[in-house]
Amino acid sequence: MSQRRFRLMVAGLAGLILPACAQNPADSATQARFLARDLLLEERNGNCRVLVPQQPGIDLSLKWPCQFHRDPSGTLRTKQVGTRQVILVESSEQLPSPSRDCRTEIQALRSGSDQTLEASSAVSRVTACPPFQWDEKMFIGLFEPDA
């Protein structure tokens, strides 16, 4: 086999393999691994819902589409708050022109005492466009009674 044919064959295989790798569920904004469980965000009646294995779905107060909050490298961002782990889900839409801002809503999920997940009743509303690195208060404050 000539070297040219070999290179073409390798390039062709790379073209088939690399897109398959890019479709890995871990790369999706609506899928995440949290506390050794695979979570999935889905649309339900125009809002976001979290599907959790071995637990009923959790309806959120966020409009669809929504996504898990991630750090700049794309990893799910978590914070330890006391004995619980907390993650954020965000929903964002561009404000009308000429504004460059977004209307973003954020809701928190935390681990429960019996390894279930629970959503905060509070939702934070801000005018910032993702990707944005919310400060630690966002992870804590959404579960406080006066949030």
| pLDDT computed for residue 25 by the predictor | 41
The model's pLDDT over 97-136, given as tens digits with 9 standing for 90+, comes to 998 899 999 999 999 877 789 999 999 999 888 877 887 8
- Select the more confidently predicted residue: 14 or 98: 98
User: Structure pTM?
Assistant: 0.77
The model's pLDDT over 35-66, given as tens digits with 9 standing for 90+, comes to 889 999 999 999 999 998 888 899 999 999 99
- What contacts 24+ positions apart, CB below 8 Å, involve 120-127? 120/147, 122/147, 123/61, 123/62, 127/95, 127/101, 127/102, 127/103
Determine contact, residues 52/39, Cβ cutoff 8 Å: yes
Does 27 have pLDDT greater than 60?
no
Domains of the chain, by residue range, sit at 29-141
